[in-house]
């Protein structure tokens, strides 16, 4: 990533004068990036990805969600490269479903997060190996289900699920803005030194081990595939995509990303509702030589 921001729609002349390295690995965030605001894959993005695959590129989806959420998309697109889920905590091989990596939250830290969450009265979801657990199906969980996440198993005591340390914990406060803001402050204060804690989609706080990021996972995928940094293209819209931007040779922010995310990218593409991914692939992968 070179730190200078260029807007794709206005750079045709500049683009012709630039020489981009050959892209061999494309890492793409899912919600708000590959998928539009209705959580669907547009024909334009699908066609561009198929063209990139035909050109010999590896395509890795990089999402905060569990692998079960993206598995149908991986199958639909015919992706065979390792896939990054749970914000980088898990890397999965599509062909076998094997988890190549699973970076977990320490049991005692997970127990502290559960205790604090229950004191605050915020809904918690504990995630481990493709399964999720919650204490009840409530309005927060129903909001979560609208994103296509699997319905969690209901258990009376979340700490009882910690026989296997979780890869992620979510805290959800749907349309409870005061609780959402207060919970973020208190979780950061008490556990920020031990966990990555960040906002993802609206009303979500996501927790993962301190070592976890999409960037760390992308570096692992690139090393496994033998691909150098200059040949990596990363596309995203969220704060948890910034770590990917640091690992990639070229970083592209979506038009719907925040100004802070755009400032960390090499280029800004179109909105997720306007085939922004396809625009980026046309420029950096499918361009005429």
Domain boundaries, the chain: 6-102+213-284, 107-209
- The residue whose two tokens read 């981009």 is 20
The answer to whether the beta carbons of residues 285 and 266 sit under 8 Å apart is: no
> Tokens for 72?
């149908």
Would you say domain 107-209 falls under CATH 3.30.1240.10? Answer: yes
Is the separation of the CB atoms in 61 and 88 below 8 Å? no
Handedness of CA 90, 88, 271, 227 (dihedral sign): negative
Counts for the chain of helices (H) and strands (E), in that order:
10, 15
Q: Given this chain, do its domains 6-102+213-284 and 107-209 carry the same CATH topology?
A: no
pLDDT tens across the length of the chain (289 residues): 544 455 654 444 344 334 456 999 999 999 999 999 998 999 999 999 999 999 999 999 999 888 988 999 999 999 999 999 988 999 999 988 889 999 999 999 999 999 999 999 999 999 987 789 999 999 999 999 988 788 999 999 999 999 999 999 999 999 999 999 999 999 999 999 999 998 877 899 999 999 899 999 999 999 999 999 999 999 999 888 999 999 999 999 999 999 999 999 999 999 999 999 999 999 999 985 4
Alpha-carbon distance 110 to 120, whole Å?
A: 15
* Annotation: CATH topology of 6-102+213-284: Rossmann fold (3.40.50)
């Amino acid at each position: 990533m070179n730190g200078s921001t260029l807007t794709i729609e206005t750079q045709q002349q500049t683009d012709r004068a630039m020489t981009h390295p050959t892209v061999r690995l494309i890492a793409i965030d899912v919600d708000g990036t590959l998928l539009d605001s209705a959580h669907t894959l547009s024909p334009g993005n699908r066609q561009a990805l198929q063209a990139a695959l035909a050109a010999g590129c590896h395509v890795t989806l990089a999402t905060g969600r569990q692998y079960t959420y993206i598995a149908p998309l991986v199958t639909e697109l015919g992706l065979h490269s390792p896939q990054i889920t749970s914000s980088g905590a898990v890397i999965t091989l599509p062909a076998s479903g094997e988890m190549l990596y699973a970076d977990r939250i320490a049991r005692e830290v997970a127990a502290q997060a559960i205790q604090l969450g229950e004191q605050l009265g915020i809904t918690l979801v504990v995630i481990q190996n493709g399964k999720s657990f919650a204490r009840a199906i409530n309005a927060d969980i129903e909001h979560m289900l609208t994103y296509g996440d699997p319905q969690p198993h209901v258990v009376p005591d979340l700490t009882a699920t910690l026989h296997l340390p979780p890869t992620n914990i979510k805290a959800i406060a749907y349309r409870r803005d005061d609780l959402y803001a207060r919970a973020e402050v208190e979780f950061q204060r008490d556990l920020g030194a031990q966990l990555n804690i960040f906002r993802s989609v609206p009303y979500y706080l996501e927790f993962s081990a301190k070592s976890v990021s999409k960037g760390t996972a992308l570096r692992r995928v690139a090393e496994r595939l033998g691909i150098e940094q200059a040949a990596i293209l990363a596309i995203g819209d969220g704060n948890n995509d910034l770590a990917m931007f640091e690992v990639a040779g070229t970083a592209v922010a979506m038009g719907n990303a925040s100004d802070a995310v755009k400032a960390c990218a090499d280029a800004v593409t179109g909105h997720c509702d306007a085939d922004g991914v396809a625009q980026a692939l046309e420029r950096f992968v499918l361009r005429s030589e």
